[in-house]
Amino acid sequence: MISKKKLGLVGRNISYSFSKIFFEDKFQKLKLNDYSYDIFDLEEIGHVETLFSDPQLLGFNVTIPYKEKIISYLDELSEEAQKIGAVNCVVIENGKKKGYNTDAFGFEKTLLIHIKKHHHAALILGNGGAAKAVRYVFDKYNIPSETISRKSEINFENLDRQTVENHQIIVQCTPVGTFPDVNNCIRFPFEGLSEKHLVIDLIYNPSCTQFMIRASEKGAKTVNGLFMLEQQAEKAWEIWSFRKK
């Protein structure tokens, strides 16, 4: 029996993830019968040490809530991952573990499709690993951005209509509203939105979150996180494939 080369996804409470279906479909199309993609649902990030002891593991994706915590378990970071401060793709080669960030690539692809000339400033809702990748992309394009989190100066409690009106791009980076809690929504002054706004919710399951529904009711253009997810996954596959050549 041929032992399979393993890839997978590290996170917590991630049974809903699209990644397994995405990569298994890719393996089938490419006739890569000796590859597998598994969900590594870890209660604590320290359990990743067990994964590293598997000689068949080539690498893995990383999702909530470990994109920042995984860094201390790695030997090296790509320049981009180092600048962002978050990792969502790991390569294991000759026993060395290197972290990359492909979220930035995926978000950049999404943003460039939808951004208009009047989109001059952005609000980033949340301060986790995905939010850090989003901020990195805005910095790259010299788009001023403000991060809204529970502990920031402007936070979810005091964010007001005027601030929303002054920032034409809104990126929802928290997991609030993800399946199965599809009726949940962060606190947000939706009255500040208009048809001039671009609202990107990084959640992809459900395809239309409560945040998106309420934003679209105000006329805003809404986009979910599926294209970003697909693009970051393709970039991860490119990194894994390149390293194996």
Banded model confidence at residue 245, pLDDT cuts 50, 70, 90? very low
Tokens of 35: 């590859």
Query: How much of the chain, in percent, has pLDDT values that exceed 90?
Result: 91
pLDDT in tens, 196-228: 999 999 999 999 999 999 999 999 999 999 999
Give the mean model confidence (pLDDT) for residues 51-58.
Answer: 93
Catalytic (active-site) positions: 67
Walk me through the domains of the chain, giving residue ranges and CATH numbers: 5-101 (3.40.50.10860), 104-226 (3.40.50.720)
Burial state string for 143-170 with b = 16 or more CB within 10 A and e = fewer than 16: bebbbbbeeeeeebeebeeebbeebbbb
Q: pTM value?
A: 0.93
The rounded Cα 171 to chain-centroid distance in angstroms is 12
Query: Distance between CA atoms of 105 and 133, rounded to whole angstroms?
Result: 9
Q: Given this model, what pLDDT does residue 241 score? A: 86
- Residue 11 has phi, psi (to 5 degrees) of -175, -165
3-state secondary structure of 216: helix
Banded model confidence at residue 14, pLDDT cuts 50, 70, 90? confident
